[in-house]
Amino acid sequence: MGNQVYGLPPTADQLLEDLVRACAADLAGPTAGSVPSELRLDAPSGTRYAYALPTAGPPTRSVSAVLNDRRTIRDFAPGPLPAKVLGEVLKATLSQDRRMASGETEAGNGLTPVVVVRAATGIEPGVYEAGAAGNCLYWHGALSQEAWRLLFFQSQLESAPVLILMAGSPAAAWHRDAAQGYLRLVRRAGAAAYAGWLAALQQGYDGCLMGSTLPSPQLNEAAGFDPAGRRPLIALAIGLRVESPG
């Protein structure tokens, strides 16, 4: 009924599809310069293959269902995140970016999910990078509890079992799209992280998006972050919500 009143597409899936198409058209900049090879967003040397992530099967909830009752969760229940849920979330982030910014990764202006695992089934805690298809993890290094805590402005978020940092290269984005490059990159990162959140919700998990995280020197070293060439743009905490009593 609401959709008829506002002239919106009849289903939530179609609405999302239309929104992605509109954003992709908006992001297709007129400049599209070339990115020097040394500025491409490669994983730091020393990164090694660590885990294949299993698939989770079809989502337990539809997009419309999760959009209707979605809310941000900042207090997470103890317990590990299943590796298959992490896999679905990572795949969703990367496939969203491929749809929204087609060809940008190949042009050297990619986004990469850096995954900080505190507790996930069968995965050693530490800092990882997702493979390009989102179905595996590459090991970067360990992260102390102190460095984990330093990431958050809000202490309750420390309870999240997993944090995904969508990283990109402002330098590459500048070469690609001049002054508009960084804004476009940040919008892509936001959309990718949001798609990851929806995927988590569809699997019955929860999350919180954060524009502001504070990488510590230890995380910067492990993940090879630097302010211009490879930096976190937005973060997504995922896990299970703490059930409210009663």
Among 3, 11, 55, 72, binds ligand FMN (CB under 6 A): 72
Tell me how far apart the alpha carbons of residues 246 and 2 are, in angstroms, rounded to a whole number: 33
What is the pattern of x (binds ligand FMN, CB under 6 A) and - over residues 143-162?
-----------x--------
Among 15, 136, 209, 242, binds ligand FMN (CB under 6 A): 209
The minimum distance between CB 231 and ligand FMN, in angstroms, equals 15
CA 72 to chain centre: 15
Q: Name the residue type at position 4.
A: Q
The alpha helices in 203-243, defined as continuous H runs, are 217-223
Contact status: 212 vs ligand FMN (CB under 6 A):
yes
Q: How many CA atoms lie within 13 A of 61 on its CB side?
A: 18
Q: Is the Cβ–Cβ distance between 200 and 207 less than 8 Å?
A: yes
Contact status: 210 vs ligand FMN (CB under 6 A):
yes
Stretch that binds ligand FMN, among 51-59, 138-146, 209-217, 219-227 (CB under 6 A): 209-217
- Tell me whether residue 138 or residue 148 sits nearer to ligand FMN (CB atom): 148
| DSSP notation for 105-137 | TTTT--EEEEEEESSBTTB-SEEEEE-TTSSEE
Contact status: 50 vs ligand FMN (CB under 6 A):
no
- Tell me whether residue 139 or residue 197 sits nearer to ligand FMN (CB atom): 197
**In sequence order, what are the beta bridge partners of 234?**
166
Contact status: 211 vs ligand FMN (CB under 6 A):
yes
Per CB under 6 A, residues contacting ligand FMN are: 71-72, 154, 190, 208-212
